[in-house]
Amino acid sequence: MIYLRSFLAGVLTVVGGSAAILVLGILALVFYSFTHREPAGGAPVGWDPISLIEHPPLPLILFLVVCFSAGCIWEYRKLTSTHR
């Protein structure tokens, strides 16, 4: 049961960390769009979000692994110290 709860805590940490990164990214994008206006007659630069699914960046994968490990180890240490 300790391992299952530790695993679930790791998954919850990944979900929470991903949500926090998503919100911070959206806020940064909104802030950037307000501060850097496009010049008149300029063409916008496109962005393909599907490329992140096809080729996920290494820092994102490392972030997810670190979040999962931290949440799992934190919960495991907490549960094992209270059962003694």
Residue 38: its pLDDT value, please?
66
Does any domain span residue 7?
A: yes
Domain containing 30 equals: 1-36
- Between 59 and 8, whose confidence is greater? 8
Q: Give residue-wise pLDDT tens across range 20-67.
A: 988 998 898 888 877 877 666 666 666 666 776 677 788 888 888 999
Does any domain span residue 42?
A: no
Domains in the chain: how many in total? 1
pTM above 0.75, yes or no: no
Residue 12: its pLDDT value, please?
92
Question: Angle of helix 2-35 relative to helix 58-82, nearest 10 degrees?
Answer: 140
Residue 16: its pLDDT value, please?
92
Residue 43: its pLDDT value, please?
64
Does any domain span residue 52?
A: no
Does any domain span residue 70?
A: no
